[in-house]
Homo-oligomer: A and B are copies of this chain.
Amino acid sequence: MTAEIITIGDEILIGQIVDTNSAWMAQKLNLAGIAVKQITSVSDQADHIIDALSEAEKRAGIILITGGLGPTKDDITKITLSRYFNMGMRRDEETLQHVRTFFERLKRPMLDSNMGQADVPEGCTVIQNKQGTAPCMWFENNGRIIVSMPGVPFEMMYLMEEEIIPRLVSLFKLPHIVHKTILTYGIGESFLAEAIADIENDLPEHIKLAYLPRLGQVRLRLSGSGYEGALLDRQIMEFTQRIAERVKKHVAALEDIALEKAMLNTMEKRGLTLSTAESCTGGYIGHLITQHPGSSAVYKGGGVVYSNELKIKILDVSEQTLERYGAVSEETVTEMAAGALRTFNTDYAVAVSGIAGPDGASPGKPVGTVWIAVANKQQVVARLFTFGNKRTQNIERSAVAALGMILNELGPD
């Protein structure tokens, strides 16, 4: 089964927003066993929308449309769909009630234009959008499914996950699909492939393995498809365990989560606490960690010690060390991690000191030179990394490397 995605609205075409919806939708569809043939962004113009729709109908059995459902005049998706399908408009009572309740809850007055949100083409099935006021419309046309959704990301996501994908899966009797992700770190894609080559060879036809690399991490995703759910689950689990066992010391999690979340989970399970001492990463590691609800159970905080003065004052790095070896050195970063452990009174501390660039290079220490240390009560381990010459990337890669070093010190579950 193939699908196409059409986004309607000028914001994308004038470059005001990046179309993140389509990538998200494409991923969810692929995971459900529906391939995406084309993604098209068109403007709020009826003829253009109609052309895009009729072209898409030639190529795919499912067409998902987002955007153009707001209450203002420039949002013309509904009226264009009624024209395309040659249908009149009707006011949907359930939607009207839903919009009313929505406004009452917000204690905001309801305008005529909001009432209009309950108007839909006659022949469509309305799917209630519990996250907003624009209804989701489902059309069937010559065996094809055309769905129109709002473009607001969280409304679209809710509708896709709760309504559209389950309906498509049951309608097209798609096979049972099982995915399992193994999050690895500290090992490159090709080394990983070599290490598990024989296991990969054993995979039956209906189970695929994808390598999804991203900045110092590789996600291994096993995807199986079949009509016997329980058997498939068991097979996927078996291969997951074989792979995880083989590359044990590189496994951060057996689920598709962020690397820092894998670290938080492991530390929380073991009742451990963490602090950070960040120089070149400037708070980015703290930010990654504290994005996650509940991170305070593990993470106590840390220092953003950009200046040498703060390295001395907050982390008790010795002036002599800084003078003799420089801020970006094994000696300094080791003292930073040890200092953080004491000052912030945690079980683990991680320290990063490097040259993110473009300035700051010195002989023997080019831009991209980064020292990272992890301390616990027994020892401090420091490691040198040599990244590239792009500041933003150096910051990101340093943070990922630091997370990897902590996971490494923690050891596998």
Contacts and interface: CB of A to CB of B under 8 A. Distances in A.
Interface of A: 12-20, 22-30, 35-43, 48, 52, 55, 212, 276, 278, 280-287, 289-291, 293-296, 299-307, 309-310, 313-314, 343-345, 356-359, 391-392, 395
A313 B303 CA distance: 12
Contacts of A41: 22, 38-40
Contacts of A15: 22-30, 36
B14 A30 contact: yes
9 contacts: A39-B41, A40-B40, A282-B289, A282-B299, A284-B290, A286-B306, A290-B395, A293-B358, A313-B344
A40 B43 contact: no
Q: Which of A29, A293, A301 has the most CB of B within 10 A?
A: A301
Contacts of A282: 283, 286-287, 289-291, 295, 299
Contact of A286 (B12, B18, B283, B357): B283
Nearest to A276: B304
Contacts of A291: 282, 391-392, 395
A284 B290 CA distance: 9
A-B CB proximity, top 8 nearest? A283-B286, A282-B290, A15-B27, A283-B283, A15-B26, A301-B306, A39-B41, A286-B304
A70 to B, nearest CB: 16
A283 B287 contact: yes
Nearest to A360: B296
B300 A301 contact: no
A14 to B, nearest CB: 5
A27 B13 CA distance: 8
Nearest to A29: B15
A38 B42 contact: yes
Contacts of A314: 301, 303, 314, 343
A283 B302 CA distance: 9
A51 B344 CA distance: 62
Contacts of A391: 291, 293
A60 to B, nearest CB: 11
Contacts of A285: 283
B38 A14 contact: no
Contacts of A284: 283, 286-287, 290
A371 B309 CA distance: 28
A146 B52 CA distance: 21
A398 B190 CA distance: 42
Contacts of A276: 283, 304
A206 to B, nearest CB: 18
A314 B283 CA distance: 16
